[in-house]
Amino acid sequence: LRKLINRINISMDKYIHDFSPEIWSVDMRFLHLSEILTSDQAKSTLAAIILVLIISIVAFRNFKYGLLTLAPLVCGLMLNFIFMAFMHIPLDMITLMVTSIVIGVGVDDAIHYNIQFRKNHLLLGNVTEAIEHTHIEAGRPIMHTTVSIVGGLLFLLMSSFLGIAYFGLLICFTLTFT
């Protein structure tokens, strides 16, 4: 709608000189609301990522562990938006909520994994062995909870409302890869 309005405005500027028409409708309000939500979501996502980084650095007392906590979040969010672009899924009021959920679940999983890795690394002294033990001790529960959450949310794909179906698809895809 924004692209169409821009094209109409360019045409009006080019061909109409005697008066200044204005485009208005209820849809314009929804477009404006959608743009506000998109802007607010971008700001809150950035704030959440910065806050997670700060909390992780303080909790782990290590900048590297703080960055490692962000890695699955950032990768999952990037894959979400790439998937949306590839599948032509619109960024709207419903699909914007995916970001907040992914940050919440991703932080939880990343912190569990990092705590377990740190404990194993201190105990074993070898990074490779620590990763192997961490996969067994923290990776399996993370995988089981992710599979159960994704399995439950797959039922959203059966919704007759396309926005809810998109939401379910995006949540399942993004949680799986986060």
Tens digit of pLDDT per residue, the chain (178 long)? 778 888 888 888 888 877 777 777 777 787 788 788 888 888 888 898 899 899 889 988 889 888 888 888 888 888 888 988 898 887 777 777 888 888 888 888 888 888 899 899 999 989 999 999 998 898 888 999 889 999 998 999 999 988 889 889 888 988 888 8
pLDDT of residue 28: 78
Sign for the CA dihedral angle at 135, 141, 142, 147 comes to: positive
Structure tokens at 12: 């009006």
Alpha carbon distance 117, 123 (integer Å): 10
**Backbone conformation region of residue 89, classed left if phi is above 0, alpha if psi is from -120 to 50, else beta:** beta
DSSP 5-57: HHHHHHHHHHH--SS------HHHHHHHHHHHHHHHHHHHHHHHHHHHHHHHH
b/e burial code for range 4-36 (CB count within 10 A of at least 16 → b): eeeeeeeeeeeeeeeeeeeeeeeeeeeeeebee
Structure tokens at 105: 């679940």
Alpha carbon distance 42, 136 (integer Å): 35
pLDDT of residue 54: 93
pLDDT of residue 147: 92
- Nearest alpha-carbon partner for 67 in 50, 88, 91, 92: 50
164 Cβ contact partners less than 8 Å away, ≥ 6 residues apart: 94, 156
Q: Under DSSP, is residue 161 helix (H, G, I), strand (E, B) or coil?
A: coil
The one-character DSSP state at 92 is: -
Alpha carbon distance 111, 34 (integer Å): 33
Which amino acid does the sequence have at 131?
I
pTM of the predicted structure, to 2 decimals: 0.70
